[in-house]
């Protein structure tokens, strides 16, 4: 693999395929697989990821907002696309691009029915979400009669799926809570189906749900972080490969003497003689200020180099005092060996935040 000559995010599509197939191997053949590609494909590239997964046989895609779904449609994605957090202002766009909205409260349900009716639609596919404990989006169990009543008064929409979202499926200390969520969802679904007169698909499992609660796979599962190489546990991480490697180079090397400082606000003041390397990546690229002042680190010639001083917008400085390196050498921010999870933990955050925060100005390279 060629060495980096600039700041790049390498995306390994073979690793994506391996992760997809590993997660699929946990399912019954009849269980559908929904690939979550929101947030620019978890910071990689939603279009490239979705096109590749569509070829591999993903049944459904999910995005957070309508504009993300529009981008996929324009790029040739023909599979169904669930919009997880639709906003009424975007309902016309959702319909224009054949996206499928999650209807999660009375206002959104009524307004989407009105939009679909105005467009003279019949049986437009929608998804109904129930809140079973995450307390983020979703109808409550006491809304069942209202939902069914609204649905029976219109032919404009049809319910393609009922779903909910697990709050702590990766935390086995919360197993009782998760099982209660699953049982609550099953009870809601049974009542809903009996009242509605037909059975939509049911889904509640996210990546950790797929791995830890096979009894709740139902008709479809949803995977985001797992496809990108993180299983939310050391045990499962052994079977998954992080698909992204963030690399850069050394732009300049300085020698810092006692009393001199590094970076803005003189956040690092030298107590001796140091060598520093300046790298062309900063908080505008996704390496937040929380990684500065020795918390975060990079890898240069297989050796950790702590970040010195404050992270700048476009650059970071690292300590290379004991590292044999030169200007132009490759620097690893994270890869499949020293993962984004490791770097995120150094700043008391999670891999999700780090990988989704990689700026789109960082060049993407796709390894087939």
| Residue positions annotated with a catalytic role | 38, 264
Contact 134, 166 (CB under 8 A): yes
Distance set, CA 351 to CA 33, 69, 225, 345 (Å): 23, 24, 9, 8
- What letter does residue 98 receive in the DSSP assignment? T
Q: With b meaning 16 or more CB within 10 Å and e meaning fewer, what string describes 218-255?
A: bbbbbbbbbbbbbbbeeebbeebbbbbbbbbbbeeeee
Question: What pairing do the DSSP bridges indicate for beta strands 330-334 and 244-249?
Answer: antiparallel
Main-chain dihedrals φ then ψ at residue 130, nearest 5 degrees: -115, 140
Cα–Cα distance measured from residue 300 to residue 11, given in angstroms and rounded to the nearest whole number: 20
State both tokens at 172. 């086995």
- What letter does residue 305 receive in the DSSP assignment? E
């Amino acid at each position: 693999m060629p060495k980096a000559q600039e700041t790049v995010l390498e995306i390994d599509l073979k690793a994506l395929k391996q992760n997809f197939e590993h997660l699929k191997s946990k399912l019954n053949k009849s269980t559908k697989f929904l690939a979550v590609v929101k947030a620019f494909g978890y910071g990689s590239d939603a279009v490239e990821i979705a096109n590749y997964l569509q070829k591999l046989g993903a049944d459904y895609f999910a995005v957070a907002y309508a504009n993300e779904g529009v981008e996929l449609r324009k790029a040739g994605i023909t599979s169904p696309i669930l919009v997880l957090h639709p906003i009424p202002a975007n309902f016309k766009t959702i319909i224009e691009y054949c996206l499928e909205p999650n209807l999660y409260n009375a206002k959104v349900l009524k307004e989407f029915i009105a939009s679909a009716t105005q467009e003279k639609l019949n049986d437009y596919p929608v998804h109904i979400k129930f809140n079973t404990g995450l307390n983020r989006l979703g109808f409550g169990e006491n809304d069942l009669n209202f939902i069914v009543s609204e649905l029976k008064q219109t032919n404009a929409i049809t319910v393609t799926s009922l779903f909910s979202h697990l709050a702590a499926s990766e935390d086995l200390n919360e197993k009782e809570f998760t099982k209660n969520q699953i049982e609550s969802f099953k009870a809601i679904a049974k009542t809903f189906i009996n009242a509605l007169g037909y059975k939509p698909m049911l889904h509640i499992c996210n990546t950790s749900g797929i791995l830890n609660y096979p009894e709740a796979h139902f008709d479809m599962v949803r995977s985001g972080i797992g496809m990108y190489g993180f299983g939310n546990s050391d045990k499962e991480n052994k079977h998954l490969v992080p698909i992204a490697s963030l690399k850069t180079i050394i732009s300049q090397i300085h020698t810092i003497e006692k009393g001199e400082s590094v970076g803005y606000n003189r956040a690092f003041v030298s107590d001796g003689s140091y060598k520093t390397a300046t790298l062309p990546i900063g908080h505008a690229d996704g390496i937040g200020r929380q990684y500065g002042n020795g918390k975060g680190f990079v890898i240069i010639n297989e050796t950790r180099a702590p970040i010195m001083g404050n992270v700048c917008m476009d650059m970071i400085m690292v300590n290379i005092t004991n590292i044999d390196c030169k200007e132009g050498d490759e620097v690893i921010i994270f890869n499949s060996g020293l993962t984004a999870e490791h770097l995120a933990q150094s700043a008391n955050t999670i891999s999700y935040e780090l990988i989704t925060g990689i700026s789109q100005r960082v060049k993407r390279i796709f390894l087939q």
